[in-house]
Amino acid sequence: MATRASSSAKPGTVIKAERDLTSELSFLTRALKAPTLREAVGRLAERARAEGWSHEEFLAACLQREVSARESHGGEGRIRAARFPARKSLEEFDFDHARGLKRDVIAHLGTLDFIAGKDNVVFLGPPGTGKTHLATGIAIRACQAGHRVLFATAAEWVDRLAEAHTAGRLQDELRRLGRYPLLVIDEVGYIPFEHEAANLFFQLVSSRYERASLIVTSNKEFGRWGEVFGDDTVAAAMIDRLVHHADVIALKGDSYRLKNHNLGRIPTPTDDQP
């Protein structure tokens, strides 16, 4: 093996054997693409000697180090690949501000049972109430749990599908997206859809029906989706597909951005009471 260091001087066979082992470990961990193991092995070996670990214990400790590095690395990779607009966690979400929203409802979504069940989640509510934050927080959990995720706004999804459609590969694209257990469709309703866009959007929602999950957010309650899709019948069919297996969460109240400005909501007579 050409890469092995060998000592030509004769400082003693023990040192030479150690050197050989060091370079052998370098070579082997590189071949296994296990850089964390490479870095950890020296320290773990010292501890193993000091604490009298069995060979099996030492091996388990080495493998454990590499496995946990890969798991966290994979999560980070999936989070980057998902293209979230900002990194938000469920832990940062302030439930005291989000009036009417039950902590345990979100905690349950955070267990990701809905992905196993191929169900959807829909967040409805005015701008600034935390829809994108919650959608992102849940989807990041999914990434960390090993699921592939993609995030985009409704308008971006439609652009993407329109491009595939023009290139004659819409079905391929829908199939490809079907391999993602979770897609996030943010901001349905911010921009009304043309007929063609509404149709593409419907195909996206239908392609996932009972097969894979969606998280959808909208600033418009369902009663106004007819305006979004330019047609009440199309909107009704869409909603039907979306909510047949879904948790629908309506966020009420004032914008979190305005929370320190007293502008977010109209004061009610009870506001000043203790």
d(CA 80, CA 148): 11
Q: Shortest distance, CB of residue 150 to ligand ADP, whole angstroms?
A: 17
Give the integer Cα–Cα distance in Å for 10 and 186.
68
- Distance, in Å, from the CA atom of 245 to the CA atom of 265, rounded to the nearest integer, reads 33
User: Quick check: 100 binds ligand ADP (CB under 6 A)?
Assistant: no
- Count of other CB atoms within 10 angstroms of residue 198: 19
Alpha-carbon distance of 77 to 143, in angstroms, equals 9
Can residue 153 be called a binding residue for ligand ADP (CB under 6 A)?
no
Tell me whether residue 51 or residue 96 sits nearer to ligand ADP (CB atom). 96
Considering only residues 126 to 145 of the shown chain, the ones binding Mg ion according to CB under 5 A are 131-132
131 in contact with ligand ADP (CB under 6 A): yes
* CA 21 and chain centroid, separation: 41
Question: Contact between 256 and ligand ADP (CB under 6 A)?
Answer: yes
CA nearest to 186, candidates 82, 44, 260, 90: 82
Binding of residue 218 to Mg ion (CB under 5 A): no
- Cα dihedral 154, 132, 247, 189 sign: negative
CB of 93 to ligand ADP, least distance (A): 5
93 binds ligand ADP (CB under 6 A): yes
**CB-wise, 66 or 187, nearer to Mg ion?**
187
How far is the C-alpha of 105 from the C-alpha of 128, rounded, in Å? 20
Q: How many residues sit close enough to ligand ADP to count as binding (CB under 6 A)? A: 17
Longest Cα–Cα distance of the chain, Å, equals 91
Residue closer to ligand ADP (CB basis): 40 or 185: 185
> Which residue number, 62 or 154, has a Cβ lying nearer to Mg ion?
154
If you search the block for the tokens 């995030």, which residue do you land on? 151
Does 190 bind ligand ADP (CB under 6 A)? Our answer is no
- In the complex, the residues that contact ligand ADP under the rule CB under 6 A are 88, 92-94, 97-98, 125, 127-133, 217, 256-257
Residues that bind Mg ion (CB under 5 A): 131-132
